Amino acid sequence: MDTKFPTIPTYRTEKATGTLPQTTQGVLFTISGRVRLIDIIGEVTTQIGAGANNAKLISNPTVGADVDICAQLDIDGDVVGTMYSITGTLADAMIATTSGAFRSQVSAVTLAAGTLDLYCSASKTGSVKWTVVYQPIDSTAKIV
C-alpha cells in the first residue's frame, strides 16, 4: 500500500422516497465539506404525473453560485421502477432507463458544502428515492 496516497473510503447515503419539488428546486441531500460524488441513482416509486416536467440535479453550495450537475430530462409519465443517473459530464442530460441495468456514473463530480438539489419545471405527482455514493475530500466531509 502506498502510504503517500492512502485509499479514500467510499460511503453510501440513501434518501427515503419523497415527492417531487413542485415547479421549484428541492433539497435531496445536505453536504458538509467537500466530497467526490461517485454515483447518484434515483428510482421512481410512484409514477410521475403526465405532462412535460424537465428535471435536473443541482449543486447548491453554501458559498458561491448553483451549478447544474446534469442537463434537464423530461420525466413525463415515468413509471414505477424507472431509474435515473448521470454521466458526470455537466452538459449531459440526466439519464432514465426502465431496463434492469444501466451504466454507472463515468466521471466523479466534486461538490462543495451546501446541498444537492432536484429541480422540476412543473407541478406533477410522483415520488423518487435517491442513493448517493461518495468519497469525502475533507476529513469531516459527509452527505446526509
Residue 142: predicted pLDDT: 97
Q: How confident is the model at residue 3 (pLDDT cuts 50, 70, 90)?
A: low
Whether 8 shows a pLDDT value over 90: the answer reads no
In a domain, residue 6? The reply is: no
pLDDT of residue 103: 84
Supply the pLDDT for residue 26: 97
Q: How confident is the model at residue 112 (pLDDT cuts 50, 70, 90)?
A: very high
Domain count, the chain: 1
* 136 occurs within a structural domain: yes
Q: What CATH number is attached to the domain comprising 61? A: 2.60.120
pLDDT at 1 over 60: no
C-alpha distances (whole Å) from 36 to each of 14, 39, 83, 125, 127 are 16, 9, 21, 31, 26
What percentage of the chain carries pLDDT values higher than 70?
A: 96
- Reported as a single tens digit per residue, the pLDDT across 75-110 is 999 999 999 999 999 999 999 999 888 888 999 999
Rounded to whole angstroms, the Cα distance separating 43 from 136 reads 24
- Look at residue 38 and tell me whether its pLDDT is greater than 80: yes
**Cα dihedral value 17, 109, 49, 14, nearest 10:** -10
What's the domain range around 78? 11-143
Tell whether 1 is covered by a domain: no
Contact 40, 15 (CB under 8 A): no
Average pLDDT over residues 15-34: 96
Place of cell 444501466: 102
- Asked whether the predicted pLDDT for residue 2 surpasses 60, the reply is no
Average pLDDT, integer, range 37-61: 97
Residue 42 lies in a domain: yes
Q: Is residue 3 part of a domain?
A: no
